[in-house]
C-alpha cells in the first residue's frame, strides 16, 4: 500500500474539463492511525481476515471489485454489539456462520477511532 501511495504521489491525472486540460495530483494526509492499530482497538480480526476494511463490511472479493465507491458503514457501537454476538453466539451458529454474521469482529473494541483515509479497502 505504501509503495502504491508513493507511486500515486508522483503521478498526475490529466482531464479535459470544458475544453481546458487540467492536471490533478494526489495528496495523502495521515491521521497517525495504522491499520493494525485500528483493527486491534476496534476488535477486528487480524489482517488475514476476509473482512478487509476497517471502515465498512467489505470482504476481500467485494473490495477488489469495487475500487471506486466507498462508504463508512462500521461504527464503534456496532462493533461492540457484534462482539457481544460473537461472545454469546445466541443463534448457535458454526464458527464460519458466526464470523460472517459479526463481519470480522472477534474481540471487544476498547477505543473508538475516527474513520480516516488511512484505513481503506482499496
* Residue ranges covered by each domain of the chain: 32-102
- Please return the burial class of 85, using the count of CB atoms within 10 Å of its CB with bins 0-12, 13-18 and 19+: middle
- Answering whether pTM is above 0.85, one says no
CA dihedral 65, 60, 27, 19 (to 10 degrees): 0
- What count of Cα atoms within 13 Å lies in the side-chain half-sphere of residue 111? 9
pLDDT in tens, the chain (122 residues): 566 666 666 777 788 888 899 888 766 666 556 778 888 888 888 877 888 887 788 888 888 887 667 677 888 899 999 999 999 999 999 999 999 999 999 999 988 877 655 444 54
Amino acid at each position: 500500500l505504501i509503495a502504491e501511495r508513493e507511486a500515486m504521489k508522483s503521478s498526475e491525472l490529466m482531464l479535459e474539463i470544458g475544453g481546458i486540460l487540467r492536471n490533478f495530483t494526489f495528496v495523502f494526509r495521515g491521521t497517525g492511525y495504522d491499520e493494525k492499530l485500528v483493527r486491534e482497538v476496534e476488535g477486528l480480526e487480524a489482517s488475514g481476515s476476509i473482512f478487509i476494511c476497517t471502515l465498512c463490511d467489505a470482504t476481500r472479493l467485494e473490495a477488489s471489485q469495487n475500487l471506486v465507491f466507498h462508504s463508512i458503514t462500521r461504527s464503534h457501537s456496532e462493533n461492540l454489539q457484534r462482539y457481544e454476538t460473537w461472545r454469546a453466539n445466541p443463534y448457535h451458529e458454526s464458527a464460519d456462520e458466526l464470523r460472517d454474521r459479526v463481519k470480522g469482529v472477534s474481540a471487544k473494541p476498547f477505543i473508538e477511532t475516527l474513520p480516516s483515509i488511512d484505513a481503506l479497502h482499496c
